[in-house]
Structure formats: structure tokens, C-alpha cells
Amino acid sequence: MKQKIKNAVISLVAIATAAVPAFALAPAALAAAPPNISGNLCQGAGLDVTSTGATCDVTTGTNNVQTLLTNIINWFSIIVGVIAVIMIIVGGLKYITSGGESGKVSSAKTTIIYALIGLVVVALAQLIVHFVLGQASTIVNG
């Protein structure tokens, strides 16, 4: 019975891992038109080069950096949150299949507790990072 549950969990993790690339979408801007390299010299930093001079406007780059950081943190939090939920399920399965053995019950409880702590840490990290980014954008934008 344990082997079947173990195989089922491994299969679910393998399917989930294989399905992740299916969620990656090509940027609509690249699909719509080829990039304009000469007109977008500062595009990588999100800076504006529409002026006649060779300088870039630094004020627009801050919002792009903030958006990039927010997106990276959101994706990281989603991944860690999903892993924590999977670990809660694994801990629950370990608890159910423990058969009353104190060592296995203790191991299952530890797994569940650590997964719950991981979820709390991810939630608090989201709050802290969004607060810091909001304060940083307030300072930069005046």
C-alpha cells in the first residue's frame, strides 16, 4: 500500500514538473512585430530613448525594475507555496499510512508543521517585499 501511494505521489510530481513549461507564454510583443533595435537602445532597462539626444530617461526604468522584481517574487512565492501544499499532502499521506507507529506519526507531524511554517514564511515574505518595494518607489518617485 505504501509503495502504491509513493508511486502515485512521484507520478503526480513528475506530471506537474512536466506541465510547467506548458504555462510559459511567449511575449505578445515579440509575436506581434520584430524588435526595433535602433529605436530601443535602452529597452532592456526600460528606459525612454524618444528624445533627440543620446541620453536615456532614467525615471521610466524604475517602474520596470519594480515590476520585474514583483513578478519574480510572485512567481517564486507561487512555486514555494505549491511545494508547501504538496508537502502538506505528503505529510497527511504519511500520517494516514503510519499505522499508529509513533516514529512514523512523529515524522508525519513534523512534515506538516514544517510545510505550514513554509506557507507562513512565504506569506510574510510577500508582505515585507511589497511593503519595501512600495516604500522604495515612493522615495524614488518623490
pLDDT in tens, 72-119: 888 888 898 899 999 999 999 999 999 889 999 999 999 999 999 989
Residue 118's φ and ψ, nearest 5 degrees, are: -60, -40
pLDDT at 68: 83
For residue 96, give the nearest of 74, 116, 78, 112 by alpha carbon: 112
- The answer on pLDDT for 24 being more than 60 is no
pTM of the prediction? 0.52
Do 62 and 140 contact (CB within 8 A), yes or no?
yes
**How many Cα atoms are found within 13 Å in the side-chain-facing hemisphere of 7?**
4
Q: At what angle do helices 102-141 and 59-96 cross, to 10 degrees?
A: 170
Whether residue 29 has pLDDT greater than 50: no
Query: For residues 40 and 49, is the Cβ–Cβ distance under 8 A?
Result: yes
Please give the grid coordinates belonging to residue 57.
Answer: 530617461
47: phi then psi, degrees, rounded to nearest 5: -100, 155
Q: What's at 76, amino acid-wise? A: F
Q: Which region among 12-16, 52-56, 64-68, 70-74 has the lowest average model confidence (pLDDT)?
A: 52-56
What pLDDT score does 83 carry?
Answer: 92
